[in-house]
Amino acid sequence: MAVPIRTAVAGLCAGLLAALLTNAPAQAGQREEGAWTVSSAAHAPHARISLDDTTGTLSLSVTRAGRTVLEPSPLGIVTEQADLSQGLRFLHARNRTVDERYRAVSGKRLDRRAHMRETRLSFATAAGARLDLVVRAAADGVAYRYVLPSGYGDVLGEASAFRLPADADAWLSAYRVDNEGQFAEYTAATAPTRTYADQALFATPGGYTLLAESGLTGSYSGARLAHTQGTGTYRIQLADERVHTEGRSATPWRAMITGDLATVTRSTFTDDLAPASEVADRSWIRPGTVLWTWLAGGRTAGQSLAAQKAYVDYAAERGWPYEAVDSGWYFKKDEWDVTDPDWQTTSWMPELVRYARARGVEIIVWIHQRDLDTPAERAQWLPTLERWGAKGVKIDFMNSETQSMLQWYDTILPETAAHHLMVDFHGSTIPKGIQRTWPHVMTLEGVGGEEKRTNTAAHLTTLPFTRNVIGSMDFTPGAFQRVGLRPNSDAAEVGLTVAYESGLQMLAGTPESYDERPLARAFLDQLPAAWDDTRLLAGRPGREAVLARRSGDRWFLGGVYTGTARTAEVPLSLGPGRWLVETVQDGTGGLVQNRQVRRDGDTLTVAVADNGGFAALACPWRPGVNTCYR
């Protein structure tokens, strides 16, 4: 029996509508009774904000693919004039979509898109005090912040906390003011009672979750995580007991990067949350490889023009664009007559800059923060460094995330940009979105790096999934001469230069150590200035990490491992076709090179030494192609 056309069309439309509703992305701010859900898509993380009608308290939970990522966790903030952690009632909600495209100058990839759904929920106490809670959800994370009207006085603390499943594996670093603690593995509940760095990683059901912070400025205070053993709760503890506010204020974003390990590793969520670039002309900002001379020669080298010229010569020979002069070069500045308009001529730095520039090398100089902490000192130093021709400044020993120090960052960032000085912060905070807003910040330490004599192989294999997810990390790899002072093999040391991303990749070896390892030296000569894409090929925090980073049509691979020697198997995911893969790996008498041709999806096999690793260069294979090196 024939079906009437009108009936058929109606049935078809109903079916299409049902399909669309089934597959439609979750909408921002979907409201249930006493709760709101925010998500960017059906398969993306879902944030659920709940209001307890009895206590007037707020909580936030996160699920992904129907599985719990974050258990209901308290929200709220307390100021001098209002307790906004309880007694709240709902007023109204506003929803919007954030969709921004921007281009970075360094990092995991250059071209980026920030696509997030946002819900802004307004609440009030019985006394009329107002609180806005802004929640954003993206494909790779969830974040929230508080917005306060003016007149509420100083912030005294937050009720904010993260409640993780108690049995979730956790990789945590004990909090230090310089963010240089080692990462160790626990579970969420068994981690000892203490405070931890806020870049904490948890293996949550169905994936991983990295806690983070973004948009931190001198209008607020840095955060750390306070934990009591036996619970899965990690409370936000501020660096200041009292945070001064003026006028309307907003806190930094409390962020959770979540997904499978590849998603977390590749995420730029903390940058996506941050304000857009404040630097209009970025033509002078150029990432690149740096010959860093501190571990090569220490303060003695820093005090010697002859030694620095020798390092410049070596960088020029290698084609490395930068040489960094570390501590010692101006330690006798107290002898300079700074009242003399020509006081700068007593330094040999201008001569070194001229010498280096004639050889195609630019100079980056170290300076202590205490010599830049007043307007007069900055007016003395920054124009001088620009006039000399220095291309960057490595500022050291901030060692604080208090509001007063963050206000110093707020001052030094536009001033260094105005004088066209790229910046490397040491003894510092971690990026937290700073590299999007101030792209001349090429890298920050905030890591237990190559200088440490107590690093473990487990720490080295955890960093790509924790600290380096947040932004560029100045670990300073390549210190081949520190045999016995580092836990890894030579091939792993080469691999770190790819596994760890840094806008200025400071290589910490001596010229002699590079020359003794020609395969390592040749690989370092190939390192690009920036990356077009990043992928995780294999990994488990504390055990192994293999990352691939693309520049043009070539992929660079860096792998680091813990444990005894073995044959590592790495699944290749580089793109269609056949690939020539040239590995640098450990052999019985030193580094050796191996060439393999593999199709995308094949397994790359690499012999790995005890606590070893490898580096590799891959390019599209075609007949006649026998090397990827250029």
Which residues are identified as catalytic? Answer: 396, 451
Q: Residue 299 in contact with residue 124, Cβ under 8 Å?
A: no
Amino acid at 210: L
Distance CA 606, CA 614 (A): 8
Q: Residue 282 in contact with residue 422, Cβ under 8 Å?
A: no
Q: Residue 547 in contact with residue 515, Cβ under 8 Å?
A: no
Distance CA 102, CA 98 (A): 13
Q: Residue 273 in contact with residue 136, Cβ under 8 Å?
A: yes
Distance CA 337, CA 329 (A): 17
User: Which DSSP state fits 226?
Assistant: E
The tokens of 501 are what? 């991303």
SS3 content of the chain, % helix, strand, coil (to 5): 25, 35, 40
Three-state secondary structure call for residue 410? helix
- Output the DSSP codes for 83-131: EETSS-EEEEEEEEEEEEEEE-SSSS-SEEEEEEEEEEEEEE-TT--EE
Distances (CA, A) of 533 to 107, 287, 440, 515: 9, 15, 20, 30
Amino acid at 626: N
Q: Is 342 exposed, middle or buried (0-12, 13-18, 19+ CB in 10 A)?
A: exposed
The tokens of 434 are what? 């700073």
Paired sense of beta strands 422-425 and 392-396, if any? parallel
Taking every pair of C-alpha atoms in the chain, what is the biggest distance, in angstroms?
A: 105
395: β partners: 367, 425
For residue 482, give every residue at least 6 positions away whose Cβ sits within 8 Å of its Cβ, in sequence order, or none.
295, 450
Q: Residue 258 in contact with residue 61, Cβ under 8 Å?
A: no
Q: Is 453 exposed, middle or buried (0-12, 13-18, 19+ CB in 10 A)?
A: exposed
First to last CA, the chain: 73
Q: Is 252 exposed, middle or buried (0-12, 13-18, 19+ CB in 10 A)?
A: buried
For residue 520, give every residue at least 6 positions away whose Cβ sits within 8 Å of its Cβ, in sequence order, or none.
478, 480, 490, 493, 494, 514, 584, 591, 615
> CA nearest 570: which of 578, 580, 559?
559
Owner of token pair 């580089």: 574
Distance CA 190, CA 192 (A): 6
Residue 335 sits at φ, ψ, to 5 deg, of -80, -15
- In the sheet with 35-38, reading across from the earlier edge strand, the strands are 30-32, 35-38, 46-51, 58-64, 67-75, 161-163, 233-238, 223-227, 194-196
Residue 405 sits at φ, ψ, to 5 deg, of -70, -40
